[in-house]
Amino acid sequence: MIWFRAGVIAVVAGVIVLALTQVAARPTAAVAPMPVATEAPTRVPLPTLAPQAVISRISHETPQPLVAPTRSALPQVDVVDYGFSPAQLTIHVGATVTFTNGGGDGHDVTGTGPGGDWRSGPLAPTEHYSRQFALPGTYNYVCSIHPEMRGSVVVQP
């Protein structure tokens, strides 16, 4: 009886060992070709995905720079022949605006209307003038030499 049980245990153990070795053997056979199969498809989509990601990022960011310069920490107005760029600048109260003559002609910045008691005086090419706007409101200005040059600074609270 003992020899019979020992024989049954030996057969069962043999079957289990056989089953385990076959189960263990199959994944290694299945895993081996997998890296070859997955490597090729992942390399193909990457070049097509990368340009799309760049394009969508650019298109998402494009509207933001249009808003940012009008409220930048260092607001600037370019004085050109014969206009101001941007013609309307929006800033927060207390900000200082720098007007730089980037034109080839002499210009100035002269306030007009309510709160218009400010002027840069003559600005030769490359010269600049800075003014802090301490109160909210809309400040219109012109170039007194070329009155068709008009601009405004909108100061928000």
80 binds Cu ion (CB under 5 A): no
What x-and-dash track marks residues 108-147 binding Cu ion by CB under 5 A?
-----------------------------------x-xx-
Mention every residue, 6+ apart, whose C-beta is less than 8 A from residue 139: 111, 115, 116, 118, 133, 152, 153, 154, 155
Among 101, 107, 133, 141, binds Cu ion (CB under 5 A): 107
What x-and-dash track marks residues 22-51 binding Cu ion by CB under 5 A?
------------------------------
151 binds Cu ion (CB under 5 A): no
150 binds Cu ion (CB under 5 A): no
> Between 95 and 120, whose beta carbon lies closer to Cu ion?
120
> Between 128 and 146, whose beta carbon lies closer to Cu ion?
146
Nearest-approach distance from CB 154 to Cu ion, in angstroms? 22
* CA distances in angstroms from 51 to 54, 55, 144, 148, listed in the order given: 5, 6, 50, 46
Phi, psi values for residue 103, rounded to 5°:
-90, 180
Q: Which residues of 111-137 are buried (b: 16+ CB within 10 A; e: fewer)?
A: bbeeeeeebbeebeeebbbebebeeee
154 binds Cu ion (CB under 5 A): no
Of 53, 106, 113, the C-alpha closest to 82 is 106
> Between 89 and 149, whose beta carbon lies closer to Cu ion?
149
**Residues interacting with Cu ion, by CB under 5 A?**
107, 143, 145-146, 149
